[in-house]
Amino acid sequence: MASSIVLGRSFPSTYREEYASGPSLPAALLKGHFEHPFRLRMWPILLFLLPAFLFYGCGSSSSLRYAPAAGYPVGYVERGVASWYGPGFHGRKTANGETFDMHELTAAHRTLPLGSVVQVRSLTSGRTVTVRVNDRGPFAKNRILDLSQAGARALGMIGNGTDQVEIRVTAYKGRPGAMGYLRVQVASFEEQANARTLAARLRSQYSDVRIEVVELAVGRRYRVHVGRFTSEQQAESVANRLEDQFQVDPLVVRDDT
């Protein structure tokens, strides 16, 4: 992915499930350790106040979504902003273990099951392209899809970098029963100690808190996940509560492990 377009990517990684709990880190050590530099965060406050708001809440999503229960993911529709990635990730492994080829018609999505076949329609030009989801991303709150360079070229969005699109799942070519659970990514840290501190506080409210270790082009990151959901509505409720009350950027992601 071009670094000027999307700042984070997901690659095959392993969960570390045993952590030593310890005292909270001083505020100075928490600055500048996050994967998304879009807004300044008050993380020292969050670490102390987090247990107070870890419960399910209601909220609205900024993008239009429709996910029919029967036959999911076929029929799923979503509207929002698509971006693209290419040279910086060509030849790397994707979330399903394939080698990323920016010249193939593929895409990354945070929650659609790997193997979903998606028709992408530009809402600005009317152009369409069909791609296969084989990777995870984009890890930016205001994006719904990362297209390969070939997919972006088909829509005519290489120069702009992003485009307003509608995506519609037309087929599913993944393994039956391999969709995995949904989780909420609360934060992503450069330092493992900071991720452990946050995870320890989350565990006072949740029994399923994990730290995912990922290798990105910019280095290793430690992503703190909570929950184990079977519906996007449940997961989005938690994510919206975090965002609305504390101005954080939680993301709903699918656990493919």
Asked whether the beta carbons of 141 and 100 are under 8 A apart, the reply is no
Average pLDDT score over residue span 6-10 = 30
Q: What is the helix (H) or strand (E) element at residue 239, kind and residue range?
A: helix 232-246
Per the domain annotation, does 82 fall within a domain?
Answer: yes
Q: How many CA atoms lie within 13 A of 159 on its CB side?
A: 1
132: helix, strand or coil = strand
Asked whether the beta carbons of 52 and 205 are under 8 A apart, the reply is no
Per the domain annotation, does 211 fall within a domain?
Answer: yes
For residue 26, the Cα-to-chain-centroid distance in whole angstroms is: 28
Residue 227 has pLDDT above 50, yes or no: yes
Q: Residue 35's domain is classified under what CATH number?
A: 3.30.70.1070
Residue 54 has pLDDT above 70, yes or no: no
Please report, as a single letter, which amino acid is at residue 210: R
Per the domain annotation, does 9 fall within a domain?
Answer: no
Per the domain annotation, does 72 fall within a domain?
Answer: yes
Choice among 47-61, 178-192, 209-223, 226-240 with the minimum mean pLDDT: 47-61
Domain boundary among 172, 191, 216: 172
Q: How confident is the model at residue 240 (pLDDT cuts 50, 70, 90)?
A: confident
Degrees, nearest 5: CA angle 168-111-182: 140
- Domain of 232? 14-60+179-254
- Using alpha carbons, select from 136, 80, 92, 119 the residue that is nearest to residue 251: 136
Both 163 and 186 in one domain: the answer is no
User: Cα(47)–Cα(22) distance, rounded to whole angstroms?
Assistant: 13
Q: How confident is the model at residue 256 (pLDDT cuts 50, 70, 90)?
A: confident
Asked whether the beta carbons of 184 and 210 are under 8 A apart, the reply is no
Both 38 and 93 in one domain: the answer is no
Average pLDDT score over residue span 41-52 = 42
Residue 142 has pLDDT above 80, yes or no: yes
Q: How confident is the model at residue 21 (pLDDT cuts 50, 70, 90)?
A: very low
Domain boundary among 149, 172, 195: 172
**What's the predicted TM-score (pTM) here?**
0.70
Average pLDDT score over residue span 154-171 = 97
Per the domain annotation, does 1 fall within a domain?
Answer: no
- Counting Cβ atoms within 10 Å, is residue 172 exposed (0-12), middle (13-18) or buried (19+)? buried
User: Cα(77)–Cα(30) distance, rounded to whole angstroms?
Assistant: 38
Both 22 and 38 in one domain: the answer is yes
Per the domain annotation, does 152 fall within a domain?
Answer: yes
Both 238 and 196 in one domain: the answer is yes
Choice among 53-67, 124-138, 177-191 with the minimum mean pLDDT: 53-67
Domain boundary among 145, 172, 199: 172
Could you read off the pLDDT of 28-42 as tens digits, one per residue? 333 333 343 333 344
Domain tally, the chain: 2
Both 28 and 93 in one domain: the answer is no
More confident residue, 32 or 160: 160
Per the domain annotation, does 3 fall within a domain?
Answer: no
Q: How confident is the model at residue 175 (pLDDT cuts 50, 70, 90)?
A: confident
Q: Residue 140's domain is classified under what CATH number?
A: 2.40.40.10
Per the domain annotation, does 229 fall within a domain?
Answer: yes
